[in-house]
Structure 1
């Protein structure tokens, strides 16, 4: 069956937990990438976010360069670079540099959301009137810089031009799904926080896909949150960190990633609980075997070509252990 051969990959926001520093978080994520490589995961992607006290992945390309030097085979990429925050030329140069360091291992995933708040947008000197609607034009510009050099081309991405770096579009709605279909690019869908649009986005993408030089048929990654432990009860306890993360986001509380708690009902109101559990309904928690079965069910429901997992786990050792348990169950080792 298809799901038995479906690759697994990792999304990492470099979480900074209570009691840890950004340096600790970067070290812990490097350890996670190394463990993921050994466990058989296909990709390790880092997501760009800014001005969040519990996320250390702002300098995405720098993080990937560091991790690339400490791994050997796992593909490295952005999940994603928020392209409207950057001049496309600089992204072509940065990822051209990464591809030159680590040939054949780099993915360039692109999103159109800011990954931050309005005040930080001003600090980033982004055009506040753009609203992401110029994303298709920015994508075209970026593709031009990464294409083989043309005679008399004035502006060149060195390194970058002609390096054949795979582009991915990230989405939490049908906008990027439609654009990925039009451009013949693979799609990574963010079901770890936006499951409501998942089915429509994937259907739109497959229905309108046009083959390209990069891709001759649709390819979909579905990203979900996952937590595995020795018992389901242990996993659900670890997953209270994930629940608190979204609880704090909903209340506008910027805090370090919290330690797990014994009873979420002491923190949230019943309406908040319903909303958050609905938003996180694709999360997979349990033993490695239980999580693996939930992910296989997800593949059957969506036809996903690849599953990517994100984990909001406070303890870095437990986070590594979770990924290892899932991989052992998934790959049958």
Structure 2
């Protein structure tokens, strides 16, 4: 194995600001564990920190999920030992090693590989939050899902369908539309023009119960106009840029709509909540409800290329970085 290194950012900008630098892994303190990473998940939020959309203190190591093998544990850690396979959501995972609170590390069950865990920890827990925690989805609901074959979307669609919901998906190409239908979407809208009008036509003028919108700026208004009265607008991403400011009266005009902008970490802020979400996620993988599709693999040192692929819209499913 190569010498330990991390991918760091010293200034905001394009993918070229991601630089490979040697580093010395931090030995675990009390309540911590040092993990040698097998794979790191790639997410759009990584690009938000790189471009400055989200603030970061430099030098900054991106990355919010990964999986690997425990190398050592600190004082007081009794539920983990060296050699254990673990998955996690945590900051600074663009590195060969990561030192994290042991309470945030989840032992991987048999049947879930380290690459699969790295591909779905953040995205899968986000899907769990969206479907189970904010406005729990129930049988008979109709959902509008943007980017249905992306990292989160490719999990949202089959999971929602397994709960008895109807999914109307919006994507950018016929190829992606076919993938969305294969994962369970009942209808797919290709392109971002006249989305609300098409949704209303597909729902006999009623609209959808919930809009799950990761696109942001170019999709936000279409999502609002696609909702039923008292429908839920859940905005959870900014792939096309930050959403423009909106007066609260817009929600009244749409029919007493409900808008929320959740952050996963408020939903996994205790070991019990994290374990609940991970338990449902791992169970859905093991019983076949969810298939972990790793659409792309990049070497960790080629993280800039991975960012270019993600931002170009050329990726499908999950993308992982391999140290």
- TM-score class, shorter-chain normalisation, is 0.3 to 0.5
TM-score normalised by structure 2 residue count: 0.33
Report the structure, 1 or 2, having the larger strand content: 2
Bigger relative CO (Cα 8 Å, ≥ 6 apart): 1
After TM superposition, the score normalised by the length of structure 1 is 0.32
